[in-house]
Structure 1
Amino acid sequence: MALTRSKNDTDNKSSRLAAQKGGSDNDSLTGTDKVAALLLALNKESGTLLLKELEESEVRQITLAISQLSNIDADEIDHILTEFASQLLRSGAVIGGANSAEKLLTSYLAPEKVANIMEEVRGPAGRNMWEKLSNVQEQVLANYLRNEYPQTIAVVLSRISPDHAARVLALLPEETSFDVVNRMLRLGSVQKDVLDKIEQTLRLEFMATFAHTRRRDAYEQMAEVFNSFDRQTEARFMSFLEDESRDDAERIRSLMFTFDDLVRLDNSSVQTLLQRIDKDKLPIALKGAKPPMRDLFFDNMSERAAKQLLEDMEVMGPVRLKEVDAAQADLVTVAKDLASSGEIVINKNNSDDELIY
């Protein structure tokens, strides 16, 4: 699995690509040359469709081949096109890819289900390999890299975001991590062919399987389930879980985001939240809130608005617990949406994340 393995992956992949396009080892042109000639012969629309199905490293190879091609006569072009068509007819091939899969799913499934499925298929987000690696869970990346040479690990970590590299380093064996740090300090510039080789191997050996093996963390999944409970059901299940395993209960609790967590919002975030929520639900939500939570909202409103809100809460009289839970859940949903879009910041329940003024 090592990234420093034998070097013929690119050539092998080009040969497979050529075979799919109708290449032959008996011809004078290489597989990549034939793909290049085929793209030149096709019209712009067809060529664009094919290029979209190729990976970045393949496009680079083909671009180089196009720049080095000499004149190809009409007979040779006809031969390449005929082989291409013949190969398609023999294999019954159709153009696939993530985009085709997404279009197909959209015809049968709701958009949110399609989005969830395609997220798993496509793997981590990112415009290139290094951005994608920065979005891979640090434990998963560390488990993969621990079997590589320290020099290779140093190159990979030097290309991803510093905060992510720090978390991955902390998960590696101590001796390995110290060696990697030393190598990163002395790394200097890395040759392009070395980077290309590492990037290609990561794509073939790691990313190709990542999307199919990645599963959501069970604790994160269960925390979302607990978030959806009303407070009585949540208390009942949490009590049961604490009796079975206090560690499991604490881990789930740490991942949950509840109405009480809104108290950790800064003033700017509270004001943004106030602009987006249903004003009719705020009095109901605060009816069951603790004094610090009420004060947080009152302090971020004008004196007149705060007075009006307090009057609404008093006039309201007793409110069913079920209604309070529903109103608070709505506020939490809006807060999560704003946090995911970067409009507000939700501080984690961790002392390391506290702000110092």
Structure 2
Amino acid sequence: MSANEITIDDEQRLLLHKMSGVEKAALLMLSLKEDDAAQIFRHLEPTQVRRLGMMMSTANDFSPDKVGAVHRLFIEDIQRFTNIGVGVHDFVRNALVAALGEDKATRLVDQIAAGTGSRGLDSLKWMDARQVASLIQNEHPQIQTIVLAYLEPEQSAEILQQFPEPVRLDLIMRVAELEEVQPAALQELNDIMEKQFAGQTGVQSAKMGGLKAAANIMNYLDTAIEGVLMDSIREQDEEMSMKIQDLMFVFENLIDLDDRGIQMLLREVNNELIQRALKGADDMLKEKFFRNMSKRAAEMLQEDIDAMGPVRVSEVELAQKEILAIARRLADEGEISLAKGPGDDYV
């Protein structure tokens, strides 16, 4: 270690342990000049912009210790990835690595270098769910299906919730049955959107939809809506409902996550969120989490859960869905494997 290399002490690591990745990124972004932060925002994906922007707008803990810990973590990451100083290109890349992780940052840097924009169907990724729903509500159900299959499952779930229950049922079953869209048809739809929003990005792939896509969208629906919709699918097509349910990953499935995966998840989830989520979990799942913490930390968490008193079921379910979203992000980044059974990974 060089004399001027910056390191993080145990107290700072404890502070960082209690913060989620998006909290760290938000504090880092709030520490930059507006122009610099804007440049980074310009190259993030829509979902990342929404999450990071929301966290930045609601952040209220700017204690010097917490801000200092985030800054040190950022510098430590830069030191790890470069030995020769940081130029403009390196600064942007290392900032993205610190905020998003190595794999996702590399992909975004490639996109920046290629000068890709958000056009055609991709323009929908930047719109509010209600705007997208309003835009496609009078379109043919097959067009609505293609849009839902094309977008990220989290956004598609928000869009689906804007439709009445019978329409939700029809669309989610169409997504499950969709296997492939002819390139010409997809390009035509892309051209229609491009005329409205201007653009150049072409069609990436004509293969989309299917049971996995339907399950991914179902994972992000509000619990009450998800339950009603699954019951309706079961009434229409029991075999399809079973296949979709088998592909869904719910909070209870975290019992199958290996110890390393649980430990990585705990590093990304703050204490308040895990308290609410475990309040409604069974003893075996609680024990799974406790087993992957220090004895003292597990005792303190159990004490905090006991001291919470009654908690609304909706609050527990919301906390569990937030943790599942973090778990899916870690799985997408290749950090953990969400397994539903032997040899059956959720991706």
- Same fold, TM exceeding 0.5? no
- With the length of structure 1 as denominator, give the TM-score of the two structures: 0.41
- With the length of structure 2 as denominator, give the TM-score of the two structures: 0.42
